[in-house]
Amino acid sequence: MTDYFHLDMPREELLALSSLGLAHLGDSVFEVMVRSWLCLHGRARAGDLHRATVRYVAAPAQAEMTKTLLPLLTREEADVFRRGRNTAPHSIPKAASRGEYQAATALEALFGWLYLQGRTDRLNQLFEALMAGAERAENAEGGV
């Protein structure tokens, strides 16, 4: 039986996956991490959890977070990120620019790639850096 929570996909198979496939999976990985972070940090009341989650997982927010992420990436991670960013999107949400959407897709592709390798320690490390950067930006703007 496959353990979908502890994956270790071979490198050859990983390289054969499309960036959009990685981003599809990475989108859900990132959202689960945000939802967990919100619950663990008491950042929102139950009625506001969805709104708080969307604030972090929307393409503009993810694109802003990538500024924190890029200096932390290894060469291989940066290659996956770049490959995800260069993927031609089928459509772009109204709330995001093309550049924001491509940066968000790159972030999601990286998270999908790390997840499929079972590299949860690295996912956690990068996620913590992203959320710390988001909190700093939020505090600087006078947010929560």
What CATH number does residue 65 fall under? 1.10.1520.10
Q: What is the domain range of residue 31?
A: 11-132
Higher pLDDT, residue 88 or 36: 36
pLDDT value of residue 143: 54
Residue 105 CA, distance from chain mean position:
8
Q: In whole angstroms, what is the distance from residue 56 CA to residue 62 CA?
A: 7
102 within some domain: yes
Of 24-38, 81-95, 130-144, least confident by mean pLDDT is 130-144
pLDDT score of 73 more than 70: yes
Predicted pLDDT of residue 142: 62
Query: Is the residue at 140 inside a domain?
Result: no
pLDDT at 45: 76
Q: Do the domain assignments include residue 24?
A: yes
- Number of separate domains in the chain: 1
The question of whether 8 is a catalytic residue gets the answer no
Query: Over pLDDT 90: what percentage of the chain?
Result: 56
From the list 27, 48, 79, 121, the catalytic residue is 27
Q: What is the pTM of this model?
A: 0.89
Reading the block at residue 43, the tokens are 């950042």
- Residue 96 CB neighbours (<10 A): 19
* In-domain check, residue 71: yes
